[in-house]
Structure 1
Amino acid sequence: MDLSVAAAAFATHLETVRRLSPATVRAYRSDLRDLVGSVGDGPLRDVDLESLRDWLWTATQRGDARSTLARRAAAARSFFAWAKDEELIPVDPSLRLVTPKRGRTLPTVASRDGMRALLDAQRMAAAGGDPVALRDHAILELLYATGMRVSELCGLDVDDLDQDRGTARVLGKGSKERVVPYGRPAHDAIAAWATRGRPVLSARASTAGPAVFLGSRGGRIGPRLVYTLVARTLGPVVGAENVGPHALRHSAATHLLDGGADLRAVQEILGHASLGTTQIYTHVSSERLAATYRLAHPRA
């Protein structure tokens, strides 16, 4: 079997058997496509450890980020382990493939005052009743209140929200479901959008869909719209042009920990499979604490 054919079969396996998210499957496809472009589309069993090392070396010379190299190495190991299990190859060539070490980079986090000013400005903009302004305010409030991923937000249906309890039922990575709480500001913003904004946009669609958040034509919103909204509103607050919805997730997690939330509770809210993933936010909080100490303590 040729490498490209095996890669396509592996992607189908990820979609139908392991039920990974579309974004994760796209990342695997991209990494394996890059591998095919590097080593050539020959027989799968001809790919050896040296071929894989040359592939990563080429990516290094090209200037790919360490995180990209680490992801591609992980994709190769997962792919060849599957191929060995399926008896497509006699030996797994990726067993001794070393993952490049990632450099530690702390996530972008907005200050509490910055988030308060941003959301207050959005609330004032929505007060005029414009349906798009109402929607945008509700999106930002909910992202910051829950720390949910952009894909989770876009996938929300009306029945997933319990306005009485102030909770949202979220379908996360690996089709894992969790329930996350949100506070009064998000509740009020969602209620205003549901009663004054959503009916206006839903009337523009031929059939009413179940999505909570709608685009200008009445259909379910996509991630690109949310990215554009966050870049426009949060970018000036954190001083970055390419900031995305994940920065609101980072900010929510950090502010929860700053406020005394338990690390495992934050893990549950964010839907992290591993506590180690959540611990990055303790580093952010520690840095903010150290910065405050240096500014305020006379012996700092």
Structure 2
Amino acid sequence: MHKRTKVMILLACLAGLRVHEIAKVRGEHFDLVGRTFTVVGKGGHRSTLPLHPLLVEIAWTMPRKGHWFPANSTRSGHVLPRSVGTIIKQVMVRAGVPGTAHSLRHWYGTTLVDSDVDLRTTQELLRHASLATTQIYTKIADHRKANGVDRLDPFRSASSSDSGGAA
């Protein structure tokens, strides 16, 4: 796998970036000492987010200035977002992984929740305006549902209940 392809996939999986956000990544967006980066998202909205340790490591090997994924010689600026999506999709097909580049963003959100990150924090990391959108992105595993049900204690004494007893 080419280095730039690996970096694109890591940005999708470990930062939850959209393909158009990946396309526009610049070296200036990263504070490697502070382990943060700035994302220019939908509507030009800027967010500063924490960097996963693997992204910090790979960022040290990338340009400090300018686009990480420059356009080819016929265009200036950054690679097209659809090209990022195609590159990631081709790797997924070769690896036998179903889905699209955007599926990696869903994986990011679901994995955060599955790792006991609360939904509100997950919303911030995904940069969703609405918690309802975050809920769409996150799937709850059956074992988490079963664990939740297992925590119910119908024999808990009324004095230990916040609600003052059973309904």
- Cα RMSD after superposing both structures: 2.7
Q: State the shift of 1:263 in Å.
A: 0.7
Query: Matches of 1:280 and 1:287 in 2, distance apart?
Result: 16
More helix by share: 1
- The answer to whether the 8 Å contact 1:135/1:193 transfers is no
Question: Which secondary structure state, in structure 2, belongs to the residue aligned with residue 169 of structure 1?
Answer: strand
Candidates 126, 142, 146, aligned match of 2:11: 142
Question: Would the alpha carbon gap of residues 262 and 238 (structure 1) be closer, same or farther in structure 2, given more than 3 Å must change?
Answer: farther
Query: Matches of 1:247 and 1:225 in 2, distance apart?
Result: 16
Q: Deviations over 1:214-246 (max 9, x none)?
A: 245485211122112211222355643xx3221
Quote the residue 2:140 is aligned against.
285
- The answer to whether the 8 Å contact 2:5/2:88 transfers is no
Residues 1:272 and 2:128 are matched in the alignment:
yes
Question: Would the alpha carbon gap of residues 246 and 225 (structure 1) be closer, same or farther in structure 2, given more than 3 Å must change?
Answer: same
Quote the residue 2:89 is aligned against.
231
Question: Which secondary structure state, in structure 1, belongs to the residue aligned with residue 62 of structure 2?
Answer: helix
Query: Matches of 1:220 and 1:267 in 2, distance apart?
Result: 27
Quote the residue 1:171 is aligned against.
40
Quote the residue 2:160 is aligned against.
none
- The answer to whether the 8 Å contact 1:254/1:281 transfers is yes
CA radius of gyration, larger in: 1
- Structure 2: give runs of 5+ residues left out of the alignment: 147-167
Candidates 7, 12, 23, aligned match of 1:154: 23
- The answer to whether the 8 Å contact 2:23/2:78 transfers is yes
Quote the residue 2:118 is aligned against.
262
Q: TM-score, normalised by structure 2?
A: 0.74
Hey, which bits of structure 1, 4+ residues long, moved more than 4 A?
A: 236-239, 287-291
Q: State the shift of 1:249 in Å.
A: 0.5
Higher RCO (C-alpha 8 Å, min separation 6): 2
Q: State the shift of 1:261 in Å.
A: 0.5
Q: State the shift of 1:193 in Å.
A: 3.4
Question: Which secondary structure state, in structure 1, belongs to the residue aligned with residue 33 of structure 2?
Answer: coil
Question: Which secondary structure state, in structure 2, belongs to the residue aligned with residue 193 of structure 1?
Answer: coil
Candidates 191, 198, 221, aligned match of 2:79: 221
How many residues are treated as equivalent by the alignment?
145
Question: Would the alpha carbon gap of residues 264 and 210 (structure 1) be closer, same or farther in structure 2, given more than 3 Å must change?
Answer: same
Candidates 41, 51, 59, aligned match of 1:190: 59
Question: Would the alpha carbon gap of residues 175 and 216 (structure 1) be closer, same or farther in structure 2, given more than 3 Å must change?
Answer: closer
Q: 1:275 corresponds to which letter in structure 2?
A: L
Question: Which secondary structure state, in structure 1, belongs to the residue aligned with residue 66 of structure 2?
Answer: coil
Question: Which secondary structure state, in structure 1, belongs to the residue aligned with residue 61 of structure 2?
Answer: helix
Question: Which secondary structure state, in structure 2, belongs to the residue aligned with residue 277 of structure 1?
Answer: helix
Q: 2:53 corresponds to which letter in structure 1?
A: R
